[in-house]
Structure 1
């Protein structure tokens, strides 16, 4: 069986998956989309393994559209933000947790066993998601980073903020900026989560009295550094796309530009060769084939690394800078992986 199938593992209403499928269709391919929402109620999977064979055989059929994934025919997989499984509503809490664990075990085992082209493998994505390691690897590669502290100690947090230039620091969440609302909705449907977003927050001496809350959960603090502009870097395979973001033109975007409706100017930018190579080296360190990186440029000309995201979005950048043809590049990269 020829390995020709391009599989996109995502979730319902993921617009990036929608756009890549449209692009692949326009190129003459027929990608198959597997949404985590379809597992298990809208998916029929049966896989077998025999003695002395090369690997697992069998298929997964998506019942809502009849599309079939033949595991022996998969050549490339785009792993893009899959969510929770949609389990039958009549299961008890314990039955739901057991079913979720069994589904997770089966599928993670299959993903680990598949000899296909990944963009990117879920285990590599998971490892690359830890901010503590990102910052360490970035500085080892030669990036400037802000002085950083992770702590659950209020006194250590106050001491660090006091030591920052101008006694100004930034607070950032380590995990979910949406404050686990999606997780609560998925795992505890009987509870209504509080929806909100924790943007990067400027901490000054006037806020030091509130740092006792650090005791409840680890917090990341970084020294505030002035910036000229922010930079969004997207790496797809061996290609690098960079856009400068004029965040300092608006008061509400000077600290965090990501969640604002302000009309920010975006432009294509050519990074210095050594900065571009550091970006590529960080992505390769984690064995990723897709990743975004956030940098900023200081008034004295330093390119400072803040974080990387294996799930970083790119469409909002491409909409503002159409010459950064990232949708086309990612579709081509998946298609190349699907060739014999």
Structure 2
């Protein structure tokens, strides 16, 4: 496969991308690793000609690449073009880089796993919930609001309820230390006037016996049951146990339809698993983590990503 060039857009230190690159190298695929938010323009140059013979050239410290030869792109959490602390000059340059380099990369006529624009759209919780219900998943009653009265009415009708952020956002605790907002049960007395300050997501708390993490890569589906005593299992990985299981009936088909509807080729689905074996949709991370899951279960997830990147067009 010496003629297979795969472009991996990721950070310099990304052990998950390393796992995929290892499989690609073992199959003699050419791999170009590039982090446009860091490498450009400090360590890379590029040109794209929109002429009678369109072409794109990327020059790094070690490679001179004809981007027209890229046959697949693995988009794996590259560094943003802009940081929160950017000056006005840096913001201008970063924006130009995003729409210039990023625009050229997004326009490459080859398969992505997955395309950054599809990932960005699929990260919105309302899009996820709407799509999940449309394709046939069981979806918990959910309210997104900044109205205190509506939050109280929702809690009265559907309680107990939980709160979770609409998107993971860097924050700090009262001591100024980095903190994470986990999925948390909310009591009626906590529903106060602060709700009016922004949008909040409230959801009925599912009476679950376990969680399911279902990782879908192309046609391949990996289903893992996660047992713990936690409402949000991400809070403490040391308290988790894992069992590889077959997906419940119909689940894989619904996952494939969901991804197809959103133009994705990868999805990390989370479900609450009830006592009567019903998987209830919680969310789908369109670029979610899976490296730790391969390590603890032995599932060949990284090989599946490599398979998809090297898949011949039909």
State the TM-score, normalizing by the size of structure 2.
0.91
The residue aligned with 1:94 is 88
Candidates 329, 332, 339, aligned match of 2:304: 329
Instruction: Report the 3-state secondary structure (helix = DSSP H, G, I; strand = E; otherwise coil) of the residue aligned with 1:40.
Output: coil
Q: Over residues 104-132 of structure 1, what are the superposed CA-to-partner deviations in whole Å (9 max), with x where a residue is unaligned?
A: 11123213421111111111111111110
Whether 2:241 is the aligned partner of 1:265: answer yes
The residue aligned with 1:292 is 268
> Structure 1 stretches of 5 or more lacking a match?
182-192
Structure 1 segment 1-340 matched on structure 2, within 5 A: 4-35=4-35, 36-50=37-51, 52-53=52-53, 55=54, 57-63=55-61, 66-85=62-81, 93-164=87-158, 167-179=159-171, 194-205=177-188, 208-247=189-228, 250=229, 253=230, 255-322=231-298, 324-337=299-312
Question: Are the equivalent residues in 1 in contact too, given 2:151–2:191 (CA < 8 A)?
Answer: no
Residue 5 of structure 1: how far off its partner (Å): 1.3
Question: Are the equivalent residues in 1 in contact too, given 2:71–2:111 (CA < 8 A)?
Answer: yes
Instruction: Report the 3-state secondary structure (helix = DSSP H, G, I; strand = E; otherwise coil) of the residue aligned with 1:31.
Output: strand
Residue 13 of structure 1: how far off its partner (Å): 1.8
Q: Distance in 1 between matches of 2:190 and 2:247?
A: 41
Question: Are the equivalent residues in 2 in contact too, given 1:39–1:85 (CA < 8 A)?
Answer: no
Q: Distance in 2 between matches of 1:27 and 1:3?
A: 11
> Structure 2 stretches of 5 or more lacking a match?
none
Residue 194 of structure 1: how far off its partner (Å): 4.9
More strand by share: 2
Q: Distance in 2 between matches of 1:3 and 1:105?
A: 29
State the TM-score, normalizing by the size of structure 1.
0.85
Q: Distance in 2 between matches of 1:281 and 1:180?
A: 38
Q: Over residues 267-313 of structure 1, what are the superposed CA-to-partner deviations in whole Å (9 max), with x where a residue is unaligned?
A: 11112331221111101111111111111211133210010011111
Instruction: Report the 3-state secondary structure (helix = DSSP H, G, I; strand = E; otherwise coil) of the residue aligned with 1:77.
Output: strand
More divergent stretch after superposition (208-217 vs 237-246): 208-217
Instruction: Report the 3-state secondary structure (helix = DSSP H, G, I; strand = E; otherwise coil) of the residue aligned with 1:301.
Output: coil
More divergent stretch after superposition (258-267 vs 132-141): 258-267
Q: Distance in 1 between matches of 2:291 and 2:99?
A: 32
4+ long deviations beyond 3 Å: 177-181
Question: Are the equivalent residues in 2 in contact too, given 1:297–1:304 (CA < 8 A)?
Answer: yes
Q: Distance in 1 between matches of 2:260 and 2:47?
A: 34
Question: Are the equivalent residues in 1 in contact too, given 2:75–2:113 (CA < 8 A)?
Answer: yes
Question: Are the equivalent residues in 1 in contact too, given 2:3–2:30 (CA < 8 A)?
Answer: no
Q: Distance in 2 between matches of 1:209 and 1:241?
A: 38
Cα 1:72/1:264, change in 2 over 3 Å: same
Residue 220 of structure 1: how far off its partner (Å): 0.4
Q: Distance in 1 between matches of 2:277 and 2:56?
A: 55
Instruction: Report the 3-state secondary structure (helix = DSSP H, G, I; strand = E; otherwise coil) of the residue aligned with 2:234.
Output: coil
Cα 1:61/1:194, change in 2 over 3 Å: farther
Q: In the comparison of the two structures, how many residue pairs are matched?
A: 309
Question: Are the equivalent residues in 2 in contact too, given 1:3–1:75 (CA < 8 A)?
Answer: no
